[in-house]
Structure formats: C-alpha cells, structure tokens
Amino acid sequence: MNPPLQLSTEILELRTRHPFRISRKGPEPIRTVLVRIRDADGVEGVGEATPQLFYGETIESVHAALARYAAVLGHDPFDLEGIDTRMLLALTGNASARAAVSSALHDLVGKRLGVPVYRMWGLDPATIPLSTFTIGIDTPEVIRQKVREAAEYPILKIKLGSDNDLAILEAIRSETDRELRVDANCGWTVKQAVRMLPVLEQFGVTVLEQPLPAEDLDGLAVVTRHSRIPVFVDESCHVAADIPRLAGRVDGVNLKLAKCGSLREAIRLIHTARAHQLMVMVGCMVESSVSITAAAQVTPLVDFVDLDGAALLAEDPWTGATLAAGRLTLPTGPGLGLSPRGR
Ligand code: MG
C-alpha cells in the first residue's frame, strides 16, 4: 500500500492596503495557515486555513486541529468523502482547518487528473456573477478615498453597523452611483434595522447582509418581512444543515469555506439552499489567493459573488483566480491552478 498522505504547514502573514474594519473587530495583522498535502508520488495540493476568532479559532487551534486531521488522511487523496467524514469524527468545529485540507485534496486530485477542479465538477466559469469589492468601516474621508481607489469595481459592498452608518452612506454616494450592497455584520437590533430599511432603499442599496446577531432568526424574519431589499445571512449560516430553519425567514445565504469546512459541504449547502428557494452568495475572509481560488471553484453555481479577500491585500503571496473590474477569472491549470507569486 502507498504511504499515507503527508501534511505540512506554513504561516502566511497578510497585510491589507488599508486597515480593514467591520462592525466587531479592529485592524491587522492577519495570519493564515497554508496547508500542503503530498501524495506518495510527490504530487502536492495546497489549501489555506483562515482562522476566525469570532468562531473560536486561532492560529494555535488551527495547528492543533491540523495535527488531528493529518492522522486520519489515509493513503488515497481521491477518498474525498471518506476523509471529510473521518475529519469530523476526529474533531468537529475547526471549519477553516478542515476547509484547508479539503482545498488541498481537491487541488491534488485535479492535478492527478490533469483538470481544473471546476471542470472536474462540470461547471462553466463563463457563468460566474460579477464580484463585489468591500469598503470597510472608516472615516468619511478615508471612505471617499477607498471608493476612488476601487473605481474599477462595478459593485461595492459597504460595511455598516457602526455609529456612523449614515455618514458612511453619504460619503459613498458623494463619490459614486455604482451598485451598493450592505453588510452590517450583526451590528443592528431589529428596531435599528427596520429603521434603516427606507434609508438603505433611498441610497439604492440592492442587498442587505446580516443586519442582526447570528442567533436572532425570528428578528431576521421580521426584517425580511419589512424589507424590499433581499436580506442575506452570513454569520447565521455555516453548513447545509442550517438552511431549513432559515428558509422562509431570509432571502439568501452567504457561503464561506472557512465556515462550512469543505468544498464538498459548500456544494451540498448550495443545493440545499436551492431546494429551499434561497439565493446563494459566495463570500470570503481577508485571505490570500489560495482560499479565494478554492472558493471560486463553486461560483458558477451561485447568484452573487463576494470574493475580494485577496484583492484587499497589499501583497498576495500566491496567484490564482484574478479579480479585474469585478470579473473573476479562474486559472486554467490543473487542480486549483495556483502558483507562488513570482514563480
Ligand atoms: Mg458578511
């Protein structure tokens, strides 16, 4: 029998062009864990774990989880379902660590077959929706500057949920008439959200994401009922099993690999959402092209894309999917088609 698959890690230090702030957390630095999985023939796949303190993950917890997952990889990289199951039996939670393993395995399998992962799944990258570009919370002056710098992006995603929401919207509209989507990152109460709805409409906002805390599903239903703008959840939805209780309460879900824990679960989540008449967005954390390119593989299946995580970086250590003028282009190389920058 072949020797077991080998897993190794490396820390990536990422810096954003501007300090990136959302309603609950402060600035940088951002550290992620690059995962490499190598098979007996020396074929290697890569993935990236982006730990989220909000979900109890740190660099240390990712390393500890990866040590457990490395022990259950087995010998066969094509055993994707089996490895996902064994990882969950070894240790639940730790979604970003599992997502890194899943991405690395898909990369490896695609390389062995000589096809990109999206081709392996029969998906057409020509159908990928345009991606948003995110403007984090800041002073009106800095926000105006960020909007000018983001001139190439046709759709902006605005972070609200601070004390300055109105000033932020005014600053943005003083610069641009582009499409705006809003993410409040759990920052409002039901009362605040309902009060904000006509304001958002007046500013021409087209999507409202996670207005309320994650667990307030009844509150989300109230906001959705009052809203003419589609209401999406992000923090309230991690895996496919979360979908049934969201159905009828919101209009859509934001899927992220760092929350759902694997590419296979991402596809299950998309199909479950569809079966419950929910729209799907694919989103990301602030992370390198490794994670963005992995998430990008499922984008031909969704309605909205928000994969600007690597575009927010001052320097991206990898190259893969590119984002130009909001258009996401997938690499044509086998697996995830990634290369270290400069090589
Ligand atoms: Mg969000």
pLDDT tens sequence across 116-136: 999 999 999 999 999 999 999
At a CB cut-off of 8 Å and minimum separation 6, what does 292 contact?
A: 284, 307, 309, 310, 320, 321, 323
Centroid of ligand 1 to alpha carbon of 295 (angstroms):
15
Burial class of residue 332, CB neighbours in 10 A (0-12, 13-18, 19+): exposed
Quick check: 64 pLDDT over 50?
Answer: yes
* Residue 66 and residue 49 in contact, taking contact as beta carbons nearer than 8 Å: yes
Distance (angstroms) between ligand 1 centre and the Cα of 1 equals 45
Tell me the CA–centroid distance for residue 238 and ligand 1, in Å.
Answer: 12
Q: What's the gap in Å between 281 CA and the centre of ligand 1?
A: 10
CA distances from 21 to 154, 176, 245, 296 (A): 21, 21, 30, 24
Its sign, for the CA torsion 152, 49, 318, 118, is negative
Q: How far is the CA of 68 from the centre of ligand 1 (A)?
A: 29
- C-alpha 185/C-alpha 110 separation (Å) is 35
CA distance 234 to 229: 16
Q: Tell me how far the alpha carbon of residue 234 lies from the centroid of ligand 1, in angstroms.
A: 5
Average pLDDT over residues 242-271: 98
**Could you tell me the distance, in angstroms and rounded to a whole number, from the CA of residue 32 to the centre of ligand 1?**
19
Helix (H, G, I), strand (E, B) or coil at 192: helix
Q: What is the whole-number distance in angstroms between the Cα of residue 207 and the centre of ligand 1?
A: 11
Start-to-end C-alpha separation, the chain: 34
- Residue 18: per-residue pLDDT: 78
Give the distance (Å) from ligand 1 centre to CA of residue 176. Answer: 22
CA of 210 to the centre of ligand 1 (A): 7
Residue pLDDT, tens place only, 131-164: 999 999 999 999 999 999 999 999 999 999 988 9
CA 117 / ligand 1 centre spacing (Å): 26
CA nearest 27: which of 138, 157, 165, 181? 138
> Separation of 320 CA from ligand 1 center, angstroms?
23
Residue 183 CA to ligand 1 centre (angstroms): 6
Q: Kindly give the distance from the C-alpha atom of residue 82 to the centroid of ligand 1, in angstroms, as a whole number.
A: 30
Distance 235 CA to ligand 1 centre (A): 7
Band of pLDDT at residue 342, cut at 50, 70 and 90: confident
Q: Count Cβ atoms within 10 A of the Cβ of residue 142 and give its class: 0-12 exposed, 13-18 middle, 19 or more buried.
A: middle
Tell me: pLDDT of 26 over 60. no
- Reduced to 3 states (helix: H, G, I; strand: E, B; else coil), residue 18 is coil
Task: Find the 341 Cα to ligand 1 centroid distance in Å.
Answer: 28
Is the pLDDT confidence value at 31 over 90? yes
pTM of the model: 0.95
pLDDT at 27: 46
Assess contact for 200 and 208: CB atoms under 8 A: yes
Residues 6+ apart with CB under 8 A from 299: 125, 128, 129, 282, 305, 307, 328
Torsion (CA) 80, 85, 88, 93 in degrees, nearest 10: 50
* Range name among 35-44, 64-73, 304-313 with the lowest pLDDT average: 304-313
Distance from residue 185's CA to the centre of ligand 1 (Å) = 6
Centre of ligand 1 to C-alpha 6, Å, is 34
What residue has token string 């159905």? 247
Return the higher-pLDDT residue of 177 and 2.
Answer: 177
Q: Residue 280 Cα, ligand 1 centroid: separation in angstroms?
A: 13
